[in-house]
Amino acid sequence: TVRPKNEVEQKQLCAFGEYVAEILPKYIQQVQVTCFNELELLIHPDGIIPVLTFLRDHTNAQFKSLADLTAVDVPSRQYRFEIVYNLLSLRFNSRIRVKTYTDELTPIDSAVSVHKAANWYEREVWDMYGVFFANHPDLRRILTDYGFEGHPFRKDFPLSGYVEV
Amino acid sequence: MFMFPVQTTGLVGLAVAGNPHERLRILYTKILSVLQTIPKDAAYRKYTEQIVNQRFNLVQTETDVQKLQDKLNSGHIEEVIVQAENELSLARKMVQWKPWEPLVEEPPSDQWRWPI
């Protein structure tokens, strides 16, 4: 069976995406709605804190809950890491995805000042990908072993690692 | 305590607000005064003034708390107060960030292409 297309929700998400893009043209590079009705905002990395604060505090967009913070590694790009924030609005029962980009050496602003939940997620992204978060209260390894060298989730890290255990 | 229409909001950490109309009136006037400082053609100013004026009118015309909650259709009146405080702090931050300016920097052409 195929999921039925929900045109109403698609239109609402498109309208909301245009609304946010009109309010924040300084940081939003692109807005897209997937065929599964998921709204995505593609941001310049300088605009993380303004966009996340706007989405959390504005009356029409009360995305108070940070559901997930991950990174995607695409080594062929100039800015290889794509940081993804998934937000949930409890008031309006709707989700939104905010994506930014960075490379191995450029730090990105920490979202901890906006959402406390981002603390361990950012530690995980640092540990697994090597993306440095500026102004993070406590950025250290969280999943790898204590003396571990390397960032395992990068695409150029081999499956069984460099050290024999 | 028996003067309040309800004893508790039912939400953890949110006390019942004494005189919510006054508090909302103060908050909305503060938000509007902060919005005056940003350029008139900014979309943020336009939409936020619309929302704030709409809520302000409802607060001024409706004196009964329960009916005001139903008309605003945004949860408890205490939650509306918290939301107004958030909007005020956001407006103050927006004055510094100035998000109505044109795009800071275009992404590289292959950055958002998917599939690669």
CATH of the domain at A32: 3.30.460.80
Domains contained in chain A, number = 1
Contact B22, B12 (CB under 8 A): no
Residues of A with CB under 8 A from a CB of B: 19, 22-30, 42, 44, 46-47, 50, 53-54, 56-60, 62, 74, 76-79, 91, 101
pLDDT at B1: 47
Give the span between the Cα atoms of A23 and A77, in whole angstroms: 29
pLDDT at B3 over 80: no
- Asked if residue A9 is part of any domain, the answer here is yes
* CA angle (B96, B99, B102) in 5-degree steps: 130
> Which domain covers residue A14, as residue numbers?
5-132
Chain B residues lying within 8 Å of A61, measured CB to CB: none
- Asked if residue A82 is part of any domain, the answer here is yes
pLDDT in tens, A60-91: 999 999 999 999 999 999 999 999 999 999 99
Domains contained in chain B, number = 1
* ipTM score assigned to the predicted complex: 0.91
Average pLDDT rounded to a whole number, residues A20-47: 94
- Asked if residue A160 is part of any domain, the answer here is no
- Asked if residue B107 is part of any domain, the answer here is no
Global confidence as pTM: 0.93
Q: For chains A and B, what is the number of CB pairs under 8 angstroms?
A: 83
- Asked if residue A156 is part of any domain, the answer here is no
- Asked if residue A145 is part of any domain, the answer here is no
Which residues 55-84 in chain B show a CB within 8 A of chain A?
Answer: 74-75, 83
- Asked if residue A141 is part of any domain, the answer here is no
Q: Cis (ω within 30 of 0) for the bond into B115?
A: yes
Average pLDDT rounded to a whole number, residues B45-67: 93
Q: Is the Cβ pair A56, B86 closer than 8 Å? A: yes
> Which domain covers residue B78, as residue numbers?
20-97
Q: Is the Cβ pair B87, A57 closer than 8 Å? A: yes
- Asked if residue A161 is part of any domain, the answer here is no
Mean residue pLDDT of chain A comes to 94
> Is the CB of B87 inside 8 Å of chain A's CB atoms?
yes
- Asked if residue A125 is part of any domain, the answer here is yes
For chain A, give the number of residues: 165
Mean residue pLDDT of chain B comes to 90
Chain B residues lying within 8 Å of A57, measured CB to CB: 86-87, 89-90
DSSP labels, A38-102: -EEEEE-GGGHHHHHHHHHH-TT----EEEEEEEEE-TTSSS-EEEEEEEEETTTTEEEEEEEEE
- Binned at pLDDT 50, 70 and 90, residue B6 comes out as confident
Contact B75, A62 (CB under 8 A): no
Give the span between the Cα atoms of A104 and A27, in whole angstroms: 21
A66: number of CA atoms within 13 Å, CB side?
22
Rounded to the nearest 10 degrees, the angle between the axes of helix A48-57 and helix B77-97 is 160
> β-pairing, A108-109 with A133-134?
parallel
Q: Is the Cβ pair A57, B107 closer than 8 Å? A: no
Of A138, A146, A135, give the one whose Cα is nearest residue A120: A138
